[in-house]
Copies of this chain bind each other. A is one copy, B any other.
């Protein structure tokens, strides 16, 4: 019979498996059974490690949000000046989009929970707060808030759109928000 091994990583593996399952089937399609199967642990160990499904979801999305904020900070932290920061913002959108299917799904699942339950809203709030602070290393607070919203909107629209979004549009939008004067040959924006 299978030996009952001491397995200190198990909790972590379960959390990772939970994110995988959520990405693949959505929160609605996530169950203890599926997570346990993916993590390679017996069903009974799920509620041993996590009191309830809600607790598990909370920890999983907390980890996901923290990872996302880490990446955000790293990318912006290495920018030496405002120009590089602008570039970083554009990269954030278009690099995320590359391997985005998973990130997109998880982000939206999290937002959906956050819209209904305060516990999850705290997670998104903390995430947004970290993003904004990272932006504020390069931009004033109001501009940072605008940029943050712009990133969000572009990310979602680009991901949900069927046709690819042009990087140059994003560059332009970032420049307008951060008030880089349009080059002389730009035509008026309104027809």
Query: A residues touching B (Cβ–Cβ < 8 Å)?
Result: 26-28, 82, 101, 104-105, 108-109, 111-116, 121, 124-125, 128, 138-140, 142-143, 145-146, 148-154, 156-157, 159-162, 165, 169, 172-173, 176-179, 181-182, 186-191
Contacts and interface: CB of A to CB of B under 8 A. Distances in A.
Given A28-B27, A140-B189, A190-B178, A149 B154 contact: yes
Identical chains in the assembly = 4
Given A101-B115, A179-B189, 19 more contacts: A82-B190, A104-B115, A105-B112, A111-B111, A111-B156, A115-B160, A121-B162, A128-B161, A142-B172, A143-B189, A149-B150, A149-B153, A149-B154, A149-B156, A149-B157, A153-B153, A156-B156, A179-B190, A182-B187
A110 B101 CA distance: 16
A121 B160 contact: yes
Main secondary structure of the interface of A (DSSP, over half): helix
